A and B are shown apart, each in its own frame.
Chain A
Amino acid sequence: MHDVATAHDDSKGQYFWVWGALLVLTAIEVVLGYKQVFSPVRMLEVLLILSVIKSALIIGYFMHLKFETALMRWLLVMSVVACFIIMYFFFFPDADRVQPPPNGVGIVQGS
């Protein structure tokens, strides 16, 4: 016989720290976005990295996934990430496709 308990001890204080960290990361994003210190592609990469960190904090602490069983953690995260990887390969090679602009003016793709 064994217990399948998911009991854990954690203090409320850590949630205030996580909330503070999320606000600080948001402030950094706003400053980076508004000052536009990077090129658009580099900016996209930096903002996405910050967003992934923020989402990890939300999923891990606020949604308590950090405290769930390893099986549940890995199965949920890996299945969703796998779907996103498939979407990436489905969408993005085509996004860079170079086509002649209509009438030679206006929208230019793939630059």
Chain B
Amino acid sequence: MAEATLEHDAVQHGLPGAYEAPLFGAYSKKVGMWLFLASDSLTFGALLFAFSYNRIYTNPWPTPFHAESIANATVMTACLLSSSLTMVLGVFAAQRHDRAWTRNWLFATMIFGTAFIVLHGMEWSKLIGEGLTVPGFMSLLGVSAPSSSGELAEISKNVPQFPQAFFGLTAMHMLHVTIGVIYLGVIAFRKWFLPALALIWIACAFLIPAGNVFHYPVHVLGLGLLLAAIIVFLKPKDYDAHDVEVCGLYWHFVDLVWMFIFPLVYLMSTKVS
């Protein structure tokens, strides 16, 4: 295995005209991202505590996830873990100033992230089709009438805490993954990513049928496109190794949060057949 070195810029102080070393020995973008991630971990922490509260408070807690759902969630977990590895390799490539491999590894990370979103979206659609809904909320999204009978419909009726907690937590995480994929795209491809994102957005808007839960939420891609365009045109620079590393911190955080959602939400609600 080839050896590689991670090097951060050394900052010297005590020299005339030199600036003082930062408190944390790291550049400001990285410290800023860590502070954001610390605050975001409290958001997810509160949601996970709320989920656990419901889990303890409600007895019997529904166990709707059969082997198929667990297998799907396990593949999603493997996608995210693998994406973290490709992200690390991307950071290494950026620090070697190897632009081609930086782009390749970031693109691989985006592929794993997109696979996660697609698998999660398919699972959501399946669960909603079988009757797992948040009463009142689904009609706002224009979701076609799901099954009103069956195990999941009964859960929605008798234990509404379950779909509320499940959809709330996983939707928040899915939004973070989507933002992460757009962030990676901007870092890897800069302005060339914008037309690709626009095409994906338009294609999704036309291909996702009106009754599907993602028919309206897919326009978050349009919002992402707008924000990415503003950022790229305000700072049309070639993103360096520091930018790739900071982007990587965000991506690993998304992976980290899933390491708690997967066991708490899925494995603690497994149905043994």
Per-residue A-contact encoding for B2-39, CB less than 8 Å = 1, 0 else: 11111110111111000001111110000100100010
Residues of B within 8 A of A (CB): 1-8, 10-15, 21-26, 31, 34, 38, 41-42, 45-46, 49-50, 52-53, 55-59, 61, 67, 70, 74, 77-78, 81-82, 84-85, 87-89, 92, 158-159, 245, 248-249, 252-253, 255-256, 259-260, 262-264, 266-268, 270, 272
14 residue pairs A–B, Cβ–Cβ below 8 Å: A1-B15, A2-B12, A3-B10, A6-B26, A12-B89, A30-B70, A55-B256, A62-B84, A62-B88, A63-B252, A71-B24, A76-B34, A84-B49, A108-B59
A9 and B5: CB pair below 8 A? yes
Docked pose: A71 CA to B31 CA in angstroms: 12
Residue of B nearest to A58 (CB): B256
Chain A residues, Cβ within 8 Å of B81: 19, 22-23, 26
Chain A residues, Cβ within 8 Å of B4: 10-12
A80 and B42: CB pair below 8 A? yes
Q: How many residues of chain A have a CB within 8 Å of chain B?
A: 63
Per-residue B-contact encoding for A64-89, CB less than 8 Å = 1, 0 else: 10011101100010011001100110
Measured CB to CB, the closest approach of chain A to B102, in angstroms, equals: 14
Given contacts A12-B4, A69-B25, 17 further A-B contacts (CB under 8 A): A4-B11, A5-B11, A7-B8, A15-B85, A15-B89, A19-B85, A26-B81, A34-B70, A44-B264, A47-B263, A51-B263, A55-B260, A62-B252, A63-B252, A72-B25, A83-B42, A92-B53
Chain B residues, Cβ within 8 Å of A44: 52, 55, 264, 268
Task: Tell me the A7-47 residues at the B interface (CB within 8 Å).
Answer: 7-13, 15-16, 19, 22-23, 26, 29-30, 32-36, 40, 43-44, 47
Contact of B21 among A4, A8, A40 (CB under 8 A): A4
Contact of A84 among B3, B23, B45 (CB under 8 A): B45
Docked pose: A19 CA to B46 CA in angstroms: 28
Chain A residues, Cβ within 8 Å of B264: 44, 47-48, 51
A104 close to chain B: CB less than 8 A = no
Contact of A33 among B11, B49, B59, B268 (CB under 8 A): B268
Contact of B25 among A34, A35, A54, A68 (CB under 8 A): A68
Contact of A11 among B3, B58, B89 (CB under 8 A): B3
B256 and A71: CB pair below 8 A? no
Docked pose: A55 CA to B23 CA in angstroms: 26
Docked pose: A72 CA to B8 CA in angstroms: 15
Chain A residues, Cβ within 8 Å of B52: 44, 91-92, 95
Contact of B10 among A7, A34, A107, A109 (CB under 8 A): A7
